[in-house]
Amino acid sequence: MLERALFWIWGWVELELTGEEPERFFNLLLAQGLVIRESERYADGRVRFRIGVGRFSVLRRAARGSACRLHILRKGGVPFILARLERRPVLPAGACLLVLLLCLLPALVLSVAVESPVPLETLSEEEILRLAAENGVAAGAWKRKLDFDETERRMMQAEPLLAWVEIRAEGTRVTLSVVEREIAAEARQKQAPGDLVASADAVVEDILLISGVALVQEGDVVAAGDVLVSGAGSHAAAVVTARVWRQAEGEWPLLEQGWQATGREARSVLVSFADKRIRLWGGGERDFAHSSSYVRSQPLVLWRNISFPVELNTEYYSEQEAYSREWGEAAAKEKATALARAELARCLPEEYRLLSEQEREANTREGFCRVTLQLETEEDIARFVPAAGD
């Protein structure tokens, strides 16, 4: 391995030897302390071998002493590469410039874009970009010098119409995700004509009517979507307190089987361009018999929609091993109850009063423990629905 490296550093020459006494040629080299370790002899007597450039003069004397002839087939190594680059000065300059760009460009912000989950109504993209630039986020900025959390806070302080700002970097592109405050929209909704409908199946307990015509009374059983208060062409407003029952089922296996991480990890780095993927280092999934993985990609964006056709992909692998765990009926029932309770919690409104929690059914069959829970709550079930056409 070391000899091959030295060959490339000092340069090498691949030669072809012809003549009637090639053995005498190699004996003369051996007498001068030069050993040829890699050679190939053909049936017609020709011999091919490689030698370092520094020992080439020894070969000429041995060739004359053995009546053999030498023909240069190939040359390689650092000296010959440098010689070719001297004849083409633009090529090394271009290579150095490319390396410089590949090193510097990923550290710069080359483009800034604005996105919003809903169309912007009050602020324009130009105003948001100008606000970001005033806080340091602009094309040409060094990404390491930017504190996105602090910039988000300053932007929201400087512009009251911004309800939410998130700044994220994707390669050399920075994206500003913004949401405007819907002050005007909220005010319009409070005055818009519409009805109040039931958000869930329930039994009405109390109605505090503010505006509109009540269509239900205490003790009525209503279904989700039933009209509780009619706006009659105006805005309906009321608090309709009702008793609501919700039910959910949770299950947990008595024998839990699956895969878990061992703590061993591996990483591979690849360069992607066109339809090719070149692995720079790392064995990736080949390091483990079973593994889970995810990929992080860093595209190189030159300017706005102009992209450099090179992407750096880092693949992360986590070794997985099979496991099994036996749960007793009591433990499995506790787990199933927790899952059912969590499912019910997702359906509850922000404000409610818990009246009761009952276990309706618990059984163990087919290797699973199943629990059915029922919650009884007291809550406001009125939900505003704008009149058709508004």
Helical spans, DSSP H, in the chain: 2-10, 22-31, 56-65, 78-87, 90-104, 125-134, 148-158, 183-191, 329-347
First-to-last alpha carbon distance for the chain, in angstroms, is 80
pLDDT for 303 equals 57
Q: Which amino acid is at 37?
A: R
**Residue 260 contacts by C-beta under 8 Å, 6 or more apart in sequence?**
320, 321, 323
Q: What is the CATH number of the domain that holds 163?
A: 3.10.20.310
CATH number of the domain within which 24 lies: 3.30.70.260
Residue 118 shares a structural domain with residue 145: yes
Q: What is the pLDDT of residue 229?
A: 93
- Lookup: tokens for 8: 């490339």
- 16 occurs within a structural domain: yes
Are 346 and 294 spatial neighbours (Cβ–Cβ below 8 Å)?
no
Q: 337 and 230, same structural domain?
A: yes
Identify the residue whose tokens are 């005007």: 184
Distance CA 109, CA 174 (A): 7
Residue of higher predicted confidence among 79 and 16? 16
Residue 89 lies in a domain: no
Q: In total, how many domains does the chain have?
A: 4
Average pLDDT, the chain: 82
pLDDT of residue 227: 94
User: Is the domain of 15 the same as that of 73?
Assistant: yes
Instruction: Confirm whether 136 is domain-assigned.
Output: yes
Lowest mean pLDDT among 44-48, 134-138, 354-358: 44-48
Residue 240 located in a structural domain:
yes
More confident residue, 229 or 100: 229
Mean pLDDT of 131-143: 88
Model pLDDT for residues 185-224, shown as the tens digit of each residue: 444 455 678 999 999 999 999 999 888 999 999 999 999 9
| Residues forming a β-bridge with 176 | 114, 167
pTM above 0.75, yes or no: no
Domain that holds residue 381: 193-254+327-390
Nearest-Å Rg of the Cα atoms of the chain is 39
**126 and 208: one domain?**
no
Q: What is the mean pLDDT of residues 326-336?
A: 89
Are residues 249 and 262 both part of a single domain? no
Can you state the angle between helices 148-158 and 125-134, rounded to 10 degrees?
120
Read off the pLDDT of residues 260-308 as tens digits, 9 standing for 90 and up.
Answer: 888 888 888 887 776 777 777 776 666 677 888 888 877 766 555 555 6
Is 353 part of any domain? yes
